[in-house]
Structure 1
Amino acid sequence: MDPLSEVLSLLKLRSYLSGGFDANGDWAVQFGAHDGIKFHAVLHGRCWVLVEGVPDPVKVSEGECFLLAAGKPFRLASNLAVEPVDVRTLLPQVHDGRVVTYNGGGEFLSIGGYFTLADGQADLLLSMLPPLVHVREEPNRATLRWCVERMRQELSDVQPGEFIVAQQLATLVLVEVLRLHLSNERRESVGWLFALSDKRMRAAIDAMHASPGRRWTLQTMAEQAAMSRTTFALRFKETVGLSPMEYLTRWRMMLAAERLTHSRDSVSEIGLALGYESDKSFSTAFKRVMNCSPRQYSRQQKAGTSDANVALRPQ
């Protein structure tokens, strides 16, 4: 499994298709704060998107979509001069429990949904994304267009298994948008997500993800990237924002947290599988990253009270 897939799997990504919005004339609708990631795809017409904290509105046209990753309140509008109405006041007008209709509908149509992420680790992905990711219509976006069209069909024609189909389609939309965001992002962007677009850094990250329990050294990591130790260490820090060993430790701790929560393996077994020769060395590394011992973390998770957080990003 590649690093992006592994991270999304560990984040326990869950996607939900929340419905459509059908509007006519001049309109503006205010949406409140939200958890996780929201997305909208414009099927017909165009609108402005204004996100709290983002200085400039963005115009989104037919065939385009956008992600909202910061959980900030936002506004959709045909005209920014129009006084917005709260989307909650429109919910009684939902058609067939799926589509919110405003001013009779007919000129603008979008579909939207959201993704929830595992508690305590969502920052692993969200910290890498701007509050608003706008994906424009381009000829080579066939996969994204197909997903959106299939989502529209699921929205309009109820079929058995619709929830699973919609969930998988929404997940495909998220992955496609992340891929496009990576390919279009400036090279100076820093973080594990952006490092995946650098072939040499990705080779090293792939190897660490594939064998987290290996007795890694800076030299063996550099060999994966076909670089000298010094050049690799400098380039990795510049690209990822962490040293290679810091990145490896944080990845190991994410895996450890997952196994402490969802397996019956002992602390010793988990530490040994992740390359630590003693409970003490594993516990020291875990506490440095997670701010609690492995046993404390396990108890907190089972009690449902953990607020620990791991993030593969600079501190």
Structure 2
Amino acid sequence: MDALSEVLQDFRLSGVNYGRCELRHPWSIAFPEQPLLRFHFVSQGPCWIHTEAQGWHELRNGDLVLLPQGIAHRLASAPDVAGGSLDDCQVTKLGGNVCEVVREGTGATSTLFCGSMTLGACALNPLIALMPPIIKGCDVAGNDPVVGPLLAAMTAEA
């Protein structure tokens, strides 16, 4: 086993909360800074992400974004869409840690899976602090055979 795999094996995720989001253009959602790790998976776009340090970046279908330090950021259907929040969406809790988020609109539909999690291994906190504030994986759904069944299970649960 390589060193990275050994480290990742110790992550022991807990407190995972996630939602399946159906958002119709125009939409924009601000995510405030938090101590938890955040992730966003784009099943179907359009989707853009903005951070203060890096500005706007387009996310394509199959892209995964991990924000290890939970920095403040914004997701939007386009960079020019005015600010919004989850308060502008219909949020339906489907269980203890699962919700569905719907934003009505007139344009194209974006389907995202978004979530937060904590790490059970406190020893990894220094590692998290050393990670880049935003990590992007391109087309993880197409390149990793585990992601497809995982998304299907998340969809079925939601």
- TM-score category by the smaller chain? 0.7 to 0.9
Alignment of 1:285-304 (within 5 A): none
Q: Does 1:25 align with 2:25?
A: yes
Encode CA deviations 1:51-78: one digit per residue, 9 max, x unaligned: 23x2321110111111111221110011
Q: Distance in 1 between matches of 2:115 and 2:79?
A: 23
Q: Is the partner of 1:94 in helix, strand or coil?
A: strand
Q: Distance in 2 between matches of 1:110 and 1:133?
A: 17
- Code of the residue aligned with 1:109 in structure 2: it is T
Q: CA RMSD in A?
A: 2.9
- Counterpart for residue 104 of structure 2: 103
Whether contact under 8 Å (2:40, 2:114) holds in the other structure is yes
**Higher share in strand:** 2
Encode CA deviations 1:200-224: one digit per residue, 9 max, x unaligned: xxxxxxxxxxxxxxxxxxxxxxxxx
User: How many residues end up aligned between the 2 structures?
Assistant: 153
- Code of the residue aligned with 1:33 in structure 2: it is E
Distance 1:65 1:8, change over 3 A: closer
**Higher share in helix:** 1
Q: Distance in 2 between matches of 1:77 and 1:65?
A: 15
- How far residue 8 of structure 1 moved from its aligned partner, in angstroms, is 3.8
Structure 1 spans left out of the alignment, 5+ residues:
163-315
- Code of the residue aligned with 1:136 in structure 2: it is C
Q: Distance in 2 between matches of 1:10 and 1:61?
A: 30
Structure index of larger Rg: 1
Structure 2 spans left out of the alignment, 5+ residues:
none
Q: Is the partner of 1:7 in helix, strand or coil?
A: helix
Alignment of 1:43-62 (within 5 A): 43-52=43-52, 54-62=53-61
Higher-RCO chain (CA-CA 8 Å, sequence separation at least 6)? 2
Alignment of 1:231-246 (within 5 A): none
- Counterpart for residue 123 of structure 1: 125
**Identity over aligned residues, as a percent?**
25
- Code of the residue aligned with 2:27 in structure 1: it is W
Whether contact under 8 Å (2:10, 2:121) holds in the other structure is no
- Code of the residue aligned with 1:127 in structure 2: it is A
Distance 1:62 1:140, change over 3 A: closer
- Code of the residue aligned with 2:70 in structure 1: it is G
Q: Distance in 2 between matches of 1:137 and 1:156?
A: 18
TM-score using structure 2 length: 0.78
Encode CA deviations 1:124-159: one digit per residue, 9 max, x unaligned: 32133211111112797133xx41x3233223323x
Whether contact under 8 Å (1:90, 1:100) holds in the other structure is no
Distance 1:24 1:11, change over 3 A: closer
Distance 1:139 1:123, change over 3 A: closer
- How far residue 19 of structure 1 moved from its aligned partner, in angstroms, is 0.9
